[in-house]
Amino acid sequence: MADGPQTPASRASATLSPGLWYRWSRVAMVGLLLMLQLYFVASHRNVHVPQPSASPPLRHKHSPQAGIKPLIDEFLDENSPLRHLFFPDIKSAIHPANGSHYYRPGHIWLDTQGNPIQAHGGGVLYDETSHTYYWYGEYRQVGVIGVGCYSSKDLWTWQNQGIVLSAQQINNETHKSNMLERPKVIYNDKTGKYVMWMHVDDVHYRKAAVGIAISDRPTGPFQYLGSRRPHGFDSRDMTIFKDDNGVAYIIYSSKMNTELHIGPLTEDYLDVQPNMRRILVGQRREAPAVFKYQGTYYMITSACTGWAPNEAKVDAAESIMGPWETIGDPCIGGKEMFRLTTFLSQSTFVLPLLGLPGSYIFMADRWNPAELNDSRYVWLPLAIGGRPLESNSSGSQSPWPRVSIHWHKKWRLPLSWRL
């Protein structure tokens, strides 16, 4: 009578000779050791090990991914002794009065009045009429106060233009316990209106909608027109992009952040057209930042790890509606762990430099989950050109030129750049 159910190993031992059983046991032991080694490497290199379960749930912004590297643990710990390295204090702030024009990624950035700039998750509009740049973003204190606006002629000295869209204007949709994120503004040449799109949500990220507002001037005030789910789908991290021909597009993370959706806006930029394309399906990407160079569209995204930073990816396409192809991580310089976390930041916008084709500013946020109003800005030079990445998402030689974001502790725009 058997002592218990037979396993594959016990069945094999009943038929193998002692010599074969010994060799089989050594092979099994080596395989087990290799599996343990792979698990150890994965857990220390932040490589995702698939689990035999359903797709992971949506990780909200207030619930970072568990089991991240020690560097990320320190970054997220508000009591960490390394906190000052990630979030330097006011003594090292970027102050326009010093006239150096040096960007210092991760440092406090002051406006012309000496106050920290509040424009998180933002984007920049260049207004051709006034030859001025306008930087829009989340104005935060304890919660979201509204959309802040700053103006500049040189992309370094920023004047506070105030709250151009307050939370109170939005029928309590963005009450301080709720969310207003990633505001972006584009100009409609046909209607003469400045149009703002943003992500509006409740504190649990269940509303998952976009809000739309318009203004006659870049400095507002903006009139809120309401919210909706584009194409009938949930929408979280999002951006809008105006093409050379004046057609504007919305790109948003959808279906519980498992894919991105992209589609054109109506001519007045106040709604979406019905045609929509699903892209990066199953890749769980968010924080899209889209730009164009020599007829090719590029998009930088992040993974979905809450407030914890992760590795950036670049996708390229000949048509903005796709297909899109992943061409790799654009981050260059600094230590490996720094590059693999997008320099401890998350993408929000890519700003082309007028007069310098192929040169851009990569705009990102270094989120401070313990005190979101103290989140920092990471602006770095982005260039297109040079050797392509060795392989693309299919494993073959990439046909696209390299997109490079270069790390610098401090840097400034080239002297040849002029507005």
Residue range 92-109, pLDDT digits in tens: 999 988 888 999 999 999
The pLDDT tens digits of the residues spanning 26-73 come to: 434 334 333 333 333 333 333 332 332 333 334 445 444 444 448 888
High-pLDDT (> 90) share of the chain, %:
65
Phi, psi (rounded to 5 degrees) for 92: -110, 20
Beta-strand ranges (E) seen in 179-222 are 179-188, 193-201, 209-215
Per the structure, how many domains does the chain have?
Answer: 1
pLDDT band at 147 (very low <50, low <70, confident <90, very high): very high
Higher pLDDT pick, 342 / 8:
342
Cα(35)–Cα(85) distance, rounded to whole angstroms?
36
CA distance 362 to 407: 11
How does residue 4 score in pLDDT terms, banded at 50, 70 and 90?
A: very low
> Is residue 30 in some structural domain?
no
pLDDT at 115: 96
Residue 416 lies in a domain: no
Whether 66 is in a domain gets the answer: no
pLDDT for position 14: 36
CATH of the domain at 287: 2.115.10.20
Q: Is residue 51 part of a domain?
A: no
Contact between 60 and 204 under an 8 Å Cβ cutoff? The reply is: yes
Distance CA 329, CA 313 (A): 5
For residue 395, what pLDDT is reported? Answer: 57
Q: Is residue 343 part of a domain?
A: yes
Over residues 264-276, mean pLDDT: 98
Could you tell me if residue 69 is inside a domain? no
- 222 lies in some domain: yes
Structural domain including 331 reads: 88-406
Q: Is the pTM of this model over 0.85?
A: no
Q: What pLDDT is attached to residue 302?
A: 98
- Quick check: 283 pLDDT over 60? yes
Is 54 among the domain residues? no
In this predicted structure, what is the pLDDT of residue 202?
85
